[in-house]
Amino acid sequence: MSEKAVSDSTDEQRAQEAGTKERHLVSRSLLLSLIPEVVLLAAAVYLFVVALGFRQVGPSDQIGPGFWPQVLCVGIGIGALVRLGQKLRSRERRVVRDAASEADEVRMSRVVLGIALVVGYVVGMLFLGYILATALFLIAFIYLGGQRKWYVVPLGIASSLLFAYVFLKVVYIALPSGVGIFDQLTVLLYEFLGIY
Amino acid sequence: MIETLYGVLGAIASIGLYGLVLVVIGVLLGLLVGVLPGLTFVMGVLLLVPFTYSMDTGSALTLMLALYVAGTYGGALTSILLNIPGEPNNVPLLWDGHGMTRQGRAAEALGWAALAAFAGGLVSWVVLVFAAKPFASVALQLSSPEYFAIVLLGFASVLALTETSVVAAVIAMFVGMLISTVGVSQVTGVVRYDFGTTILRDGIDYLAVMIGMYALGEVITRFGQNFGGQVAQQPGRVATTIPGLRAIWERGGSFLRGILTGSLIGTVPGAGATVASFVSYGLEKQFGKHKREVGGASPSGVVAPQAASTATVGGALIPLLVLGIPGSAAAAVLLGVFLLHNVQPGPQIFVEQPELVYTIFAAFLLSLIFMFVIGILGARPLIRVLNFPEVYVSAFVVLFAFIGALALRQSLSDVWITLAFGVIGFAMARSDYPIAPLVLGAILGPLAERHFVTTMISSGNDWTVFFTRPISGTLMVILILLVLLLGYRAYRTSTQQPEEPERDGARQTEDT
């Protein structure tokens, strides 16, 4: 076989492999894109069934508390089915990346990190109290957000104390004080700030 | 009319130093929020909520209204000078506004934007002041069937103006309405969808949903992008030149189209400054006297969208005050403030608390004046704020968001709800589901259910009553025509070639 024929055959093989890869990519992309509608449909069915069990109040011929939620569940279910149909019909979706959108690309690992930070903040508020949790959150968020300056730590602490003072003393919002030793620490800080 | 005028003048005269300070603070915050990327004026108004607890209703509304008004204009500065839209409603200003800057006409562009914002707001203020009370008199005649029809029409209008798939918007709206059914039913008193938990038994406050979706959802997205995006290059000299009378007369049509568009669209629940701005720009490009210039560096391309943006404020306040139905996302937050202070907006407020209504009118007018003056004088320092890294702003947005949620009912349940909806908001944006209809559904769902069920009970389950009463019948016919139009649009979209979905279009930030 001549060199050119071998080269052409290799190129054809590569093109076929690329085509197969792209088809797998499109299929995977399509399946992933169907997840929201499947979840919505499942939730609509489940919530419809739950609504059947709402206690009827008043005469039996009167609209009960379950009527309105059931109508909404039916609407969501139909809508989800229509969206599923639309997406399945447009199977030739291609994932196109253009240079302009690269800069705005969301990285899921960072999204998970961001969510973990805010969840950690809320949990921290419960156990550590507002002041400590807020300081830790600010420092971690700003640091992991790319600003690794020396003043991030004092800024986090000062902001936390300031927020606590303003919202407790000026706006009168009851902030979580934590549990156990952290509750005692919070009380000490409140005394330091002149709140107690 | 004379009585209204005296009332407004009296309110302006009696606003006092405290009121003026609140207006100035609100305007400064609104301009700042408008300039800062990652912060919309809806988020700004939302994040102010906790600060208003210790204030009286009038002061709270003054502060938030000032931020709302100025927030519709603040982003124009960065759009024109730096080609960075500070707010979604300022995107159209990139095309002509920044075009004028590239031609060395930045001062002129800033002048047109400032004047358009002031004119748009002023005319919509006049409409609000003199039309609200007559509308309220009519609204007092309305009953449950009419209110139900109005709410449905509001829903349909939002769907008609959505930039994304109509089906996705409908689903989002129904989900929002379903969310509003969680907790104790207003009509029957039965607990629904609590699944045995206290968090859900207390119901889901729509403000917690809004804070989660608009504020937290955006922060999660920006964190995921590592706060990437355009970096602002500081401009050289920043000045503003107010156009002369002749030039203003020449662009009179652009002003008029922008103001009318904004005032009308502002009354539609769920359609606010962003929709008005784009629609107005589109109209200018199609029908404007200078349509050939629009898209290059035409003042008309600045005037129309900016006038429309600020005019939506007055438009949004009309249904809020007259019917208790918010005409925009920011108006929905104002509704929340009313309710937090145990005031139910609606036609009766003009009779029972006219001084509060006049205070709102006065605050709106003063906010416009200060927005114009401070916007011109403060352009340079406001632009400098962009040097501040976005991560700091986002971190504090999270703090304010959770404080706002905590302050709603002094309960950590709302914080968890806010967090959950922050994640849901992010997921929705990624899946091309618009947020605005969901939030609208959460706000208006209880109203729709209450009026529907009340009508059915009082009419003995006779659904034809919606069509036999003259006003509700007329509204239902309009609704049916609108639904048919939406159905046709949805069918056309589904039979067209699939396009790559636009992530920014799915997140109608601000507009609900």
Closest CA to B278 of B252, B304, B251: B304
Tell me whether residues B391 and A145 touch, CB distance under 8 A: yes
pTM, whole model, 2 decimals? 0.80
Distance CA B75, CA B29 (A): 12
CB pairs under 8 A between A and B: 172
Q: How far is CA B402 from CA A18, A173, B76, in A?
A: 48, 12, 29
CB B274 within 8 Å of CB B79: no
Give me the pLDDT at residue B509, please: 41
Give me the pLDDT at residue A25, please: 65
Q: What's the alpha-carbon Rg for chain A, to the nearest Å?
A: 28
Q: Phi and psi dihedrals of B184, rounded to 5?
A: -80, 125
Distance of CA B375 to the CA centre of its chain: 20
Give me the pLDDT at residue A91, please: 64
Beta carbons within 10 angstroms of residue B175's beta carbon: 25
Walking along chain B (512 residues) 10 residues at a time, the average pLDDT comes out as 79 85 94 82 88 89 95 90 82 88 88 95 93 81 86 80 81 95 90 91 89 89 82 64 88 93 84 85 86 87 94 92 87 89 88 90 95 89 78 89 87 92 92 88 89 89 89 89 81 62 41 44
Q: Which own/partner contact pairs does A59-67 have at CB distance under 8 Å and 24+ positions apart?
A: A61/B461, A62/B457, A62/B461, A63/B453, A63/B456, A63/B457, A63/B461, A64/B188, A65/B185, A65/B187, A65/B188, A65/B190, A65/B192, A66/B192, A67/B453
Please give the residue of chain B at the shortest CA–CA distance from A125: B412
Host H or E run for residue B332: helix B329-340
Angstroms from A12 CA to nearest CA on chain B: 29
B residues 449..508 contacting A (CB < 8 A): 449, 452-453, 456-457, 461, 494, 498, 500, 503
Angstroms from B375 CA to nearest CA on chain A: 28
Distance CA B109, CA B80 (A): 7
Measure CB to CB from residue B178 to each of A47, A106, A163 and give the nearest one: A47
Tell me whether residues B227 and A104 touch, CB distance under 8 A: no
CB B64 within 8 Å of CB B26: yes
Cβ-Cβ contacts under 8 Å, A147 against chain B = 389, 391-392
Q: How far is CA B265 from CA B17, B20, B302, B437, in A?
A: 34, 29, 18, 15
**Burial of B350 (C-beta count, 10 Å sphere; 0-12/13-18/19+):** buried
Q: How far is CA B469 from CA B157, B276, B459, B475, in A?
A: 22, 32, 12, 10
Q: How far is CA A109 from CA A96, B122, B145, B221, B226, in A?
A: 21, 48, 50, 12, 11
Measure CB to CB from residue B399 to each of A75, A86, A163 and give the nearest one: A163
Tell me whether residues A103 and B410 touch, CB distance under 8 A: no
CB B330 within 8 Å of CB B510: yes
Q: How far is CA B11 from CA B156, B158, B350, B351, B361, in A?
A: 37, 34, 14, 16, 8
CB B3 within 8 Å of CB B134: no
Domain segments of chain B as ranges = 2-506
Helix axes B470-495, B144-160, angle to 10 degrees: 20
Most A CBs within 10 Å, among B59, B222, B392, B396, to test the A interface: B392
Cβ-Cβ contacts under 8 Å, B389 against chain A = 146-147
Closest CA to A72 of A47, A103, A102, A104: A47
The full DSSP string for A129-149 is -HHHHHHHHHHHHHHHTT---
Host H or E run for residue B416: helix B412-430
Distance CA B315, CA B450 (A): 25
Cβ-Cβ contacts under 8 Å, A69 against chain B = 178, 181, 192-193
Give me the pLDDT at residue B236, please: 62
Tokens encoding A166: 């303003």
Q: Which residues of A147-171 are buried (b: 16+ CB within 10 A; e: fewer)?
A: beeeebeebbbebbbebbbebbeee
Rounding to the nearest 10 degrees, give the CA dihedral for residues B125, B127, B129, B130.
Answer: 160
Most A CBs within 10 Å, among B398, B428, B496, to test the A interface: B398
Question: ipTM score here?
Answer: 0.84
In chain B the first and final C-alpha atoms are separated, in Å, by: 31
CB B454 within 8 Å of CB B144: yes
Distance CA B93, CA B80 (A): 6
Give me the pLDDT at residue B232, please: 55
Distance CA B453, CA B455 (A): 5
Compute the 3-state secondary structure of chain A and give helix, strand, coil in percent, each to the nearest 5: 75, 0, 25
- In sequence order, which residues have a C-beta less than 8 Å from that of residue B2 and are 6 or more positions away? none
CB B385 within 8 Å of CB B234: no
Tell me whether residues B171 and A108 touch, CB distance under 8 A: no
DSSP-derived 3-state class of residue A63: coil
Partner A contacted by B188 (CB < 8 A): yes
Q: How far is CA B388 from CA B231, B238, B370, in A?
A: 11, 19, 25
Give me the pLDDT at residue B231, please: 55
One pLDDT digit (tens) per residue for chain A, 196 residues: 567 777 777 777 777 777 777 666 667 788 888 899 999 999 999 999 999 999 887 777 788 899 999 999 999 999 999 999 988 887 644 444 343 444 458 889 999 999 999 999 999 999 999 999 999 999 999 999 988 899 999 999 999 999 999 888 877 888 999 999 999 999 999 999 888 7
Cβ-Cβ contacts under 8 Å, A80 against chain B = 171
B residues 383..422 contacting A (CB < 8 A): 389, 391-392, 394-396, 398-399, 402-403, 406-407, 410, 412, 415-416, 419, 422
DSSP-derived 3-state class of residue B183: strand
The full DSSP string for B77-130 is HHHHHHS--SSGGGTHHHHHHHHHHHTT-HHHHHHHHHHHHHHHHHHHHHHHHH
CA angle B188, B190, B193 (to 5 degrees): 130
